Structures are given as structure tokens and as C-alpha cells.
């Protein structure tokens, strides 16, 4: 079996966010970069678990990004990937990124493609579905459990108010979230071995860019707390109506 796991580079959650070029680009100076947690903790680790059950499994990683993503890719390899592929382009357009992943997946003839449910910077949750459509594969989103019996996958996914269990034959694209696996930390053997694992750099294929960033903006600063006496409910109602505008 061949597995492809999509890996994204995202800012650490403690990073101070700022923008440049009239708020159209993210300021990357002095930012600590990490593997997108949904990609690392759930998609990659579950793929590693499948490989541990069947050592004949081939596990590849893919990243669409510039050379500055390679330290993050090496960390992912240290966790347990066999080799990585970096498509040498940067974009904020989901369709363009999905097109690059789909082209690599098509050439590699993968049985299973894992993505995180979303990246923690853009929260788009769109790449997996687009990749599946471009490859004409079934797609199961928001997976919290994944079991494989031969070429049939049993996948439990989260839905509003409960869970849904699906059965699907490989190949399939699955987006993963909390519950899929437990977080792992690379050990020294993995870190040393990752230095020599193959990291192929491919040039992007021609693909449409359907969206562009008009501007970024930070959320508004938190306002101060207003205390209202318990014996003055009318003032509380007024504040909720006129200032908070929630009633």
C-alpha cells in the first residue's frame, strides 16, 4: 500500500502576527514555524501507525511551498515518513495547492491520501475535498477513527450531534482531526535518520489560481470589562442591545 500525507507549514500558535505590503502579505520575520498540528498529530501519526502494522507500506509526505518549509518537512520525516516531496511554489489559493497535490498523487498511484482537517492559519478545510475531486476519488472528511481491512476502510467521522461510520474501498482521500491518533515526538534515531531521507523537489504544474488575498486584518482588541449592578437589569439589557448588539 502507498500512503501520501499532506504536510503544511504554519506559524506557531504563540507567534506574534503582523502583515506587510498594505496588509496583503503575512510578515514572516522572527516567526517560529511548525507542522500544521492537524497534519502532524492526526494525519501523519495515523499513517505511521498503519505502516507499523504493515512494514511493506510506503509512506510519502508532500508539501507545497518554498525552500523555507524544508526544516518542517524534515521534522515530519523524523516522525516516520519514508521520503518527502516538495512542490516548489507558494500560494494562498486552495485550488492551486490542491492541483499540485493531485498531480503528484496521480503520478504516484497512491492508495490512501491523508490531510489534516484544516490548517490553523487559514482554517479553510478545503484541500482534501478538492484533491479528491481532481483525482475522482471518494472523500471522507472530519475523520476521528480509521481502520483498514484489506482494501476496505472503516472510517468514523464527526457530524453535528454525533458520529457517522462509513465504509469505502481504496483509494480514498481522508481529512483527519482529533481522535484519529495520539501525538508523537520524534526520537533521536528518527531525527538523525531524517537527515538522509529523500526529499524530492518538483516544479509546479500549470494550474488556475481562483482566489487572491485582498487584505488581512487582526481581530479587534478586547474591550474592557463593564460591571453592572445586579439590581440594575435594565442597564444590562441596554448594553447588550446598544453596544454588544447581541439582542
Tell me the pLDDT tens digit for each residue of 169-187: 999 999 999 999 998 888 8
Strands 33-35 and 9-11: antiparallel
> Using one digit for the tens of pLDDT, what is the confidence trace for 15-51?
888 888 889 888 888 888 999 999 999 999 999 999 9
Model's pTM, two decimal places? Answer: 0.86
How many CA atoms does the CB half-sphere of 203 hold within 13 Å? 1
Domains of the chain: 2-218 (3.40.50.620)
The answer to whether residues 148 and 118 touch, using CB atoms and an 8 Å cutoff, is no
Contacts of 116 (CB under 8 A, 6+ apart): 6, 8, 36, 37, 38, 39, 40, 42, 43, 175, 176, 177
* Bond preceding residue 171 cis, omega within 30 of 0: yes
Dist. CA 147–CA 49, nearest whole Å = 11
> Using one digit for the tens of pLDDT, what is the confidence trace for 185-208?
888 889 999 999 999 999 999 999
Amino acid at each position: 500500500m502507498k500512503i501520501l500525507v499532506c504536510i503544511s507549514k504554519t506559524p506557531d500558535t504563540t507567534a506574534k502576527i503582523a502583515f506587510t505590503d498594505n496588509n496583503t502579505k503575512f510578515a514572516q520575520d522572527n516567526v517560529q514555524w511548525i507542522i500544521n498540528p492537524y497534519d502532524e498529530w492526526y494525519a501523519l501519526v495515523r499513517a505511521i501507525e498503519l505502516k507499523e502494522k504493515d512494514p511493506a507500506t510506503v509512506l510519502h509526505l508532500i508539501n507545497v511551498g518554498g525552500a523555507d518549509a524544508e526544516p518542517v518537512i524534515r521534522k515530519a520525516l523524523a516522525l516516520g515518513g519514508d521520503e518527502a516531496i516538495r512542490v516548489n511554489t507558494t500560494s494562498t489559493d486552495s485550488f492551486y495547492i490542491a492541483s499540485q497535490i493531485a498531480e503528484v498523487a496521480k503520478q504516484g498511484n497512491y492508495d490512501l491520501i491523508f490531510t489534516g482537517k484544516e490548517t490553523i492559519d487559514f482554517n479553510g478545510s478545503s484541500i482534501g475535498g478538492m484533491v479528491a475531486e481532481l483525482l475522482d476519488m471518494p472523500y471522507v472528511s472530519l475523520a476521528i477513527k480509521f481502520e483498514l481491512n484489506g482494501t476496505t476502510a472503516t472510517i468514523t467521522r464527526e457530524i453535528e450531534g454525533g458520529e457517522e461510520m462509513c465504509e469505502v474501498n481504496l483509494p480514498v482521500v481522508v481529512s483527519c482531526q482529533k481522535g484519529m491518533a495520539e501525538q508523537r515526538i520524534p526520537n533521536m534515531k528518527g531525527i538523525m535518520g531524517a537527515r538522509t531521507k529523500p526529499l524530492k523537489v518538483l516544479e509546479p504544474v500549470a494550474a488556475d489560481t481562483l482566489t487572491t488575498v485582498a487584505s488581512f486584518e487582526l481581530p479587534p482588541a478586547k474591550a474592557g470589562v463593564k460591571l453592572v449592578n445586579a439590581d440594575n437589569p435594565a442597564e444590562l439589557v441596554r448594553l447588550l442591545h446598544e453596544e454588544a448588539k447581541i439582542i
